[in-house]
Amino acid sequence: MRTYYEIDLTSRSATAHELHGKAIVLAGRYLIAKTLVERGLAGVDPLAPENPLIFSAGPFAGTTFSNANRTSVGCKSPLTGGIKEANGGGTFSYGLGQLRIAGFTLTGASPDWVVIHFRKDGGIDFDDATPYLGKGNFAAADLLYTRYSRKVAIALCGPVGEYQGLLAGIAFSDKDLRPSRLAARGGVGAVMGSKRVKAIVVDLDKAPPFGDTKKVNSSIKEYTKLLREDSIVMNFYNKVGTMGMADYQNYIGGLPVRNFSAGQLADTTAGETFKMGGDYIGELNTSRGGQQTHPCMPGCAIQCSNVYYGADGKEIVSPVEYETLGLLGTNCGVSDPDDLAQLNYIANDLGIDSIEAGATLGVLMEAGLAAFGDVQWMAEALAEIGRGTELGQLWAQGTARVGAHYKVARVPVIKKQAISAYDPRVVEATGVTMMVTAQGADHTAGNLPRLKTREMDLETLMDLSLKQQIKVAANDSLGLCAFGQSVTNTNLDFLTDAINAAHGADLTPAFFEELGRMTLAYEREFNRQAGFTAADDELPAFFYREALPPTDHVARFHGADVHSIYDGLDVGQTA
């Protein structure tokens, strides 16, 4: 049994619902999409009290089942106007699971700023948030640990979220207590701010009970073994981390450089040194005492995270991830990892999406406010956003709105959300995913960054994208990190048996694909009701017009070409 809470912030009251079996399993992204559609929320103002903010943990939350403690956060996005699920690692779902909490929905808005505290004795407190307002996330987290102890997990609305800046994500604590794992995209932090919830604190306790605890514990060990035997997990994610993708994208010419005007920062085939990828950074970081292998959540065997150290042998930031290297780094003309790490820390302290922030700064540079590579100006711009000045609040509204304000022609967004660090002219399958997904330009909806696609036709690309989106949607609905997919997706009998043992469900392996399909169907329906059409799947015009060096590719497909992708979902009556 697990408990799900409906929390009315206006009255500061909570209603508990018991969940059993399958109801515990169908969580995360699926639960968010199903809830938003069934409550008829496509027409609400995203920053009004009527827009719920949903937090959901997966069926293995609270255990050391590797990469199974991700937290899904969802709502109608104030950035895109469509549906949004953003998920993050860290310890938040680990804490929820230990208290036997499957998740909760925040409705209404608190009359005053509040900290919600889930206590280990089952109580829920609504505490005064005044001491934490206006502070950066690291200072606020320190104060929260002083107040509630260090044996807690936290979710934080940063200073940008407080004034409902659309760059704002929701920061979760990692296993070392840093508030640096973000459910970052889509403005979910702005929705948290609109509800005047500064922080959510969850007491840590002990692993929760399961139907067959002995089998669950055995499954945890077996899954770890499978991950450690997997070459993709151990030779890429564990050894290099996501920053290794920068080396590959730079090599093939799919890296965002200077507001997507080039696909390569350094020509390594001509002997130039590329300093913004895993090969260079890994050696540099370990030579300084930094950690290139680091788990963001308890029990994770993948350990794709890192702790980046400066030349003085002290920590600057954790983690440095590929998307941040791409958007806040090379997209803005930054070529030194130390500079990027400092900017990364500022973004973490503000609790903002580094993808959206980097794309926004790149557009501001294109507008002539600074030269590409001007790191001092970037730091000052982020500080302006953090202070919430009139200018800072304008910039905090994200790439699309900033581009419109400054009348910039080249604005890299789809559905008003910044394109991730894969140029769709080169990384075409991921490009198709970013065009069609209801989530906005989000690579995580179905990333296929290594496919050689130029000889593929559109039908093949759409089929590959849809299949990957279905798998990712299922993982997102089970609280599983997608970086374990090479094991998860190929061991469905094992995964299903483990879930059934945990919660007394009676699922078959076919549930996995059906879960992904139903999730995508609900998301498509929400955006249809919100008014989205094929025109919203179109790439910005410059991707079709401008050939990208060094490949000289232009985008091949338009929104009208790909909009029908979800016609192939073939779902029956949704659960």
Each residue's pLDDT tens digit, 411-456: 999 999 999 999 999 999 999 999 999 999 999 999 999 999 999 9
Query: Model confidence over 110-132: pLDDT tens digits?
Result: 999 999 999 999 999 999 999 99
Q: What is the pairing mode between strands 197-203 and 181-183?
A: unpaired
Taking the C-alpha atoms of residue 129 and residue 121, their distance in angstroms, rounded to an integer, is 22
| Gyration radius from the chain CA atoms | 22
Characterize the bridge pairing of strands 124-128 and 53-57. Answer: unpaired
- The model's pLDDT over 56-72, given as tens digits with 9 standing for 90+, comes to 999 999 999 999 999 99
Instruction: Look at phi and psi of residue 161 and say left if phi exceeds 0, alpha if psi is from -120 to 50, else beta.
Output: alpha
Structure tokens at 95: 């804490």
Tokens of 29: 């992204």
Buried b (16+ CB within 10 A) or exposed e, 287-298: ebebbbbbbbbb
Which contacts of 17-25 are long-range, i.e. CB under 8 A and separated by 24 or more positions? Answer: 19/102, 20/503, 20/504, 21/503, 21/504, 21/505, 21/506, 22/503, 22/505, 22/506, 22/507, 24/59, 24/102, 24/503, 24/505, 25/59, 25/478, 25/499, 25/503, 25/505, 25/507
What's the full length of the chain, in residues? 575
Residue with the two structure tokens 């050894």:
239
Contacts with 169 (C-beta within 8 Å, 6 or more apart), sequence order: 86, 88, 158, 161, 182, 183, 184, 185, 188, 189, 351, 352, 353
**Rounded to whole angstroms, how far apart are CA atoms 264 and 255?**
6
Q: What's the mean per-residue pLDDT of the chain?
A: 97
So what's the pLDDT on residue 145?
Answer: 98
Interacting residues of 467 by C-beta distance below 8 A, sequence separation 6+ = none
* Residue 319 preceded by cis peptide, ω within 30: yes
Spatial strand order of the sheet with 2-8 comes to 13-19, 2-8, 101-107, 53-57, 71-76, 83-88
Question: Residue 304: its pLDDT value, please?
Answer: 94
Beta bridge partners, 74, equal 54, 85
pLDDT score of 328: 98
- pLDDT reported for residue 573: 46
The 3 state secondary structure assigned to 287-347 is HCCCEEEECCCCCCCCCEEEEEECCCCCEEECCCCHHHHHHHHHHHCCCCHHHHHHHHHHH
Residue type, 253: G
Enumerate residues 6+ apart whose C-beta is below 8 A from 183. Answer: 71, 72, 73, 86, 87, 88, 169, 170, 172
**Smallest Cα–Cα separation from 413: which of 352, 327, 344?**
327
519: its two tokens: 């999730």
Terminal C-alpha separation, the chain: 20
With contact defined as beta carbons under 8 Å apart, do 568 and 436 qualify?
no
Query: How far is it, in rounded angstroms, from Cα 67 to Cα 63?
Result: 10
Kindly report whether the global pTM for this prediction surpasses the value 0.85.
yes
Q: Give the pair of three-digit tokens for residue 508.
A: 């078959």
Backbone angles phi, psi at 203, to 5 degrees: -65, 140
What's the confidence (pLDDT) of residue 575? 47
Pairing of strands 124-128, 305-309: unpaired
Largest CA distance in the chain: 65
pLDDT-flagged residues of the chain (< 70): 572-575
b or e along 531-541 (b: 16 or more beta carbons within 10 Å of the residue's beta carbon)? Answer: ebeeebbbbbe
Mapped onto helix, strand or coil, the DSSP state of residue 17 is strand
| Dist CA 361 CA 381 (whole Å) | 8
Amino acid identity of residue 264, one-letter, is Q
Q: Up-side HSE of residue 4: CA atoms within 13 Å toward CB?
A: 20
Question: What are the start-end ranges of the E strands in 352-507?
Answer: 413-414, 417-418
Residue-wise DSSP of 358-383: HHHHHHHHHTTSS-TT-HHHHHHHHH
Beta bridge partners of 168: 352
Provide the pLDDT for residue 144: 98
Q: Is 268 helix (H, G, I), strand (E, B) or coil?
A: helix
pLDDT of amino acid 570 = 78
| pLDDT at residue number 572 | 59
Q: Pull the structure tokens for residue 401.
A: 């709105």
Give tens-digit pLDDT for 546-555.
999 999 999 9
Q: Are 285 and 292 in contact (CB under 8 A)?
A: yes
